[in-house]
Structure 1
Amino acid sequence: MESAVAREKYYLRFIFPLLACFILTTLIGCGSMPKPVRNLGKTDVDFVMDVHAREQKELLMELTRKLYVRNPNQLRKIEDMTIEDRMLQIFGRPGELESKSLVFDELDGKTSIDAILLAFDESYQGDRVFAAMVGLTEMLRRSYNHQQEFFILDSLDEQSLYNSARNIEIFVWRLYHRRDSNGELYLLTNHYNEQQFDVSFDRIFTRMAMVQDMMALIVADKTNRSITKVAHGVVQFVFLPVP
């Protein structure tokens, strides 16, 4: 009798809370639960995925600010627009969920790769930094299933992560080489002169691609699936699909 009572207390104290968290994670998610409780539904890989997703967002925010500082003429295309306004439009307020796709009338509803292409379209008269960063941010969010936090049952696609890493490289090539009919770069980045040698943009882009490649390898190892790698020359650079 005493052993039966002891078992009942054990289940009530330890097993039932674990089961409750697992069920809530499956049905509605643990996002609103206290952090120690939410962490019960995570594996080591989930924690690693969280860290990489957060780092990628921080890099995107840093890149957005730097592009506007380097290209202030783009911000002036919209009256009374500030960098903080743009940051809020793209990244939202701290703690806000990122499940919503980035779609803006200002970009004619174009997002992800289509928005990036708009930034390098000579006929486009709008804010090219905004188009480029909306596109790049949305593409990377898709590679993470628009999630900021991951749990046991969550899964990412290793091919989308790999493709997005290659797309970052394609984006960088266009940024550094595509010019308008007057021979001017669409957007300025690194700065070289006799007094200054700034390659800080290279550092950001390298880290962004490395984060995506690392995540692709982690997910491929977790799921025991292989990645189809792509090889092509710079001239043939075409953005790869990230569903």
Structure 2
Amino acid sequence: MDAKKYLQRIKVSADRNLDLEYLAKLQSGHMLNIPFENLDVTRKTPIRLNTDFFSEKILERGRGGFCYELNGLFQLLLSELGFQSRLISCTVKKPDGWAREDSHAAILVYLHQLPYLVDVGFGDSVRQPLPLTGEEKTDVSGTYRIKATAEGKFDLQRFEDGKWKILYRFSDRPVQLDDFHDACLFNQTSPESHFTHGDLATIATKDGRITLSGLTVTKSEESRKNKFELSVGKKKIFFSGNLT
């Protein structure tokens, strides 16, 4: 992987200070410049768990990806820069229960032996490293914390409507990219996977987020949301509104 090209893509300069501030800058830069998207899934283009494949797609072709691609490549960058990092598996909490177990990939980064959750592949979520201590962190997307469970795992939580909502559950056990083979195949092919139900592309902005879902574009800024419908012609797709 070309770390220099990666840093150029996320608009972050190289830095020898491998501290929390630089880690946060890397995470924010990634989320502001590389989209989360499932366009290969809906077009039935196979996604292989291979960082060379991820690098060619994201760095050479300027694409985005979903969690295995984004966090898989970002963890490799962190390791090449000198951070102590490893992939972990997570189970996403849905409104009606839990998603497939251990089917989401995220990252733990250790700074002075203290672990921080870093995730650039979960769409609209925390934009800064989050310690596993329960400390609350707030950014433009919300207020977050990590709560330890009685079973020795951890819950990523966001404060919504006056209460803490679980986004996903994880353990600090290290995993390899290949460990997600079955989950990656499931998320590309199963009708139970929400990635197979239509196009999704979303990217963070300084003040919010822009999301394409099907033919609907949503631009969020702080507490405001504007929606625009796309109309499909023979060869072109047109906005029916103005994103500015």
Q: Pick the structure with more helix per residue.
A: 1
Question: TM-score, normalized by length of structure 2?
Answer: 0.26
TM norm structure 1: 0.26
Which has a greater percent of strand? Answer: 2
Bigger Rg over Cα: 1
